[in-house]
Amino acid sequence: MLGIILFYLIYYVYTILFDKNYQPKAYQLAVKKGEVSAVLRKVEKKYPDKVRFFNFWFQVERLKKEKVPGSFAELGVYKGDSAFLLHQMDQSRIFHLFDTFEGFQANDLKTEIGKAATYTTSNFADTSVQKVKKRLSDPEFIFHQGYFPETTKGLKNEQYALVSMDADLYNPTKAGLEYFYPRLSQGGVIIVHDYNPDWPGIMKAVDDFAAGIPEPIVPMPDVDSSVMIFKAND
């Protein structure tokens, strides 16, 4: 039994590192044409959720092709992993980063249920704005440290093409949808992570918001069940 487990473990590692079958044909072609940087190829090999990675890539490529205007943004940056790879996919966009960079706020935890109910203010606090700025040092990154949506002051008229939301909790997810959706360009997309029963607060925030807009939410088969909201033409 141990030998069988070891075999499948080695096979899994080999598949992740060397097997290209999981790569979409469009991505393979882009690599052959030199349209994917060496840095992004390296990130792709190590990124654990391939479906999420390639969904990001397809959406960014679509935004380029359709010339959808606007900045990129992320709500829930943590250590900057997702922001780093999205920036590598399109380095021409201003990229707004919203996070406390100090973990969760106590008031946001009071009403949580599901997995989030086990969280404390210590969760995701093992970061700092200084550390993330060191990693995300390109001038396109603009940091907005503090409690969201208070950190959107001065951005009332900002326009967004892509928003990645990974805030884990109901309150910031609700506030994020209320802020970003009206400022989303036509053809733009909001991608919300963790839309699954382990995170009922996120599901409620998304479902309640989606009930009031004309577009449907589009589920994705990535590891943690992201959903997408596209801004239709007026």
Whether 11 shows a pLDDT value over 90: the answer reads no
Checking if the pLDDT of 15 tops 90, the result is no
Type and span of the H or E element at 74: strand 71-75
pLDDT tens digits for range 30-49: 999 999 999 999 999 999 99
Query: pLDDT by residue (tens digit) across 196-215?
Result: 999 999 999 999 999 999 99
Half-sphere exposure of 12 (CA within 13 A, CB side): 7
Backbone phi, psi, residue 56, to 5°: -55, -50
Q: Is the pLDDT of residue 53 over 70?
A: yes
| Average per-residue pLDDT for the chain | 92
CB 87 within 8 A of CB 110: no
pLDDT grade for 101, boundaries at 50, 70 and 90: very high
Specify the pLDDT at position 233. 74
Q: Exposed, middle or buried by CB within 10 Å (0-12, 13-18, 19+), for 96?
A: buried
Pairing of strands 227-230, 160-165: unpaired
pLDDT at 100 over 50: yes
What counts of helices (H) and strands (E) characterise the chain?
9, 7
Report the distance separating Cα 181 and Cα 159, nearest Å.
10
| 48-230: CATH number | 3.40.50.150
CATH 3.40.50.150 domain extents, the chain: 48-230
Strand partners, 95: 72, 141
